[in-house]
Chain A
Amino acid sequence: MNKCTERIFNGLVKENPTFVLMLGMCPTLAVTTSAINGIGMGLSTTAVLVMSNMLISMLRKIIPDSVRMPAFIVVVASFVTIVDFLLEGFVPSLYDSLGLYIPLIVVNCIILGRAESYASKNPVLPSIFDGIGMGLGFTLGLTCIGIVRELIGSGMVFGFQILPDSYVPITIFILAPGAFFVLACLVALQNKIKRNLANKGKKVPETAGCGEGCASCGNRGACSGHMFLDVTEEKKNEKE
């Protein structure tokens, strides 16, 4: 498989930011009240991710190592501002429903994580495809969660009535608590799969999207990559 398609496969399946790495949980919980919001948020993030990966990869030999984080943040924030204005101008309805969460793409750990772990070390073309893959993976994740919440919470998918009228919608699923419940089930499912893999002696995929693993990262407490660390560490302790 050539490098570019490998990157897309990697983002969509192997290191899917929502289902495997569990990054960017704030937007995942907040905007998935409907499938269409999920797609909108996912595609906006993809656009920012592709552009910032491209620019950071181009500048990777110019940016001094000691100030790389502020430099990355400026690059990402500029693209977020552009996307913010484009959405406001061309898709006002989506802009209204996503609201505050569009500028908050800046602090989405997927974007800085990819900049840090991939784009700043690799040439331009693979970085672009890495951005496309990760972004589409994130879009896929948000859309799936959005579909589940919209279906249970209002009986509709993409605004079309799917379930019969006799179905009484469980409205709580499109409200804030529903997000927590759906995510809880998702993480539980993932824990189960990981435990099965670990019991069979297969390699458990790392959850950190920032490359190095969480133990050495100064940002550990504020990042969601450590969510599963407990499980993997526990397994290690059991073996010892």
Chain B
Amino acid sequence: MGEQIQNLLLIAVGSAFVNNVVLSQFLGICPFLGVSKNVKTAAGMGSAVVFVITIASFVTGLIYKFILGNPNIMGGELEYLNTIVFILVIAALVQFVEMVLKKAMPSLYNALGVYLPLITTNCAVLGVALTNVQEGYNILTGVVNGFATAAGFLVSIVLMAGIREKIEHNDITESFQGTPIVLVTAGLMAIAFFGFSGLI
């Protein structure tokens, strides 16, 4: 039991900091650059991603365990459908989560709602689902991995938004204003995140 928890912690720290989803795997770059203008929206987007990825890794984990990777159905040879099934499930899931939130938890919906439709095309969600299968994680490990990956996204997008609020009024060479300086900042953050690689 103790060993299992230690193992989960290692996976969590690994995917949140060491292999940060944005800064070292380049998944979810688009929202990272697009929705990081101020800390409040960045935190909203980040939380929506945490929410969706955690649910998505649970659901795709279930589908893989009981349908696609199940040796009793087609001799467990349905694995080739992973990509197709996962992307459709994620797209449907985001719609579904949006409807449920709207109905059941209006306050949470008000906070996260606008970001939800944007997440369908976020490659991080599909990336996490596929990583879970490739690494052979069970459902619990998969959910922990998904949550940690998304937490890593939340941390980096909030940090980035904080930095962007500070550099907004700086005197930057004309050509580097806007996206280029954000990319340079992301590069420097990626270097800083190398520091975590000693953790594991």
Name A's B-contacting residues (CB within 8 A): 25-26, 29-30, 69-70, 73-74, 77-78, 80-81, 84-85, 100, 103-104, 106-107, 109, 112, 172, 175-181, 183-185, 187-189, 191-192, 195, 218-224, 226-228, 230-231
Contacts and interface: CB of A to CB of B under 8 A. Distances in A.
Nearest to B134: A100
A180 B187 contact: yes
B178 A26 contact: no
B119 interface: yes
A188 B88 contact: no
Given A81-B81, A188-B173, A221-B118, 19 more contacts: A25-B26, A25-B29, A26-B27, A26-B28, A73-B87, A74-B84, A77-B84, A109-B121, A176-B190, A177-B188, A178-B187, A184-B180, A184-B184, A220-B34, A222-B118, A224-B30, A228-B178, A228-B179, A230-B179
Where chain A touches its partner, the secondary structure class is: helix
B80 A29 contact: no
A26 B131 contact: no
Interface of B: 23-31, 33-35, 45, 80-84, 87-88, 91, 115, 117-123, 126-127, 130-131, 134, 173-181, 183-184, 186-188, 190-191, 194
B17 to A, nearest CB: 13
Contacts of B88: 70, 73-74, 77
Contacts of A183: 183
Contact of A84 (B29, B83, B173): B83
Contact of B190 (A177, A188, A195, A228): A177
A14 to B, nearest CB: 21
A90 to B, nearest CB: 16
B20 to A, nearest CB: 9
Contacts of A222: 30-31, 34, 118-122
20 contacts: A26-B27, A26-B29, A30-B26, A77-B83, A78-B84, A81-B84, A100-B130, A100-B131, A103-B82, A107-B87, A177-B187, A180-B186, A180-B190, A181-B184, A184-B180, A191-B174, A219-B118, A221-B34, A222-B120, A223-B34
B180 A185 contact: yes
Contacts of A180: 183-184, 186-187, 190
Contacts of A178: 187
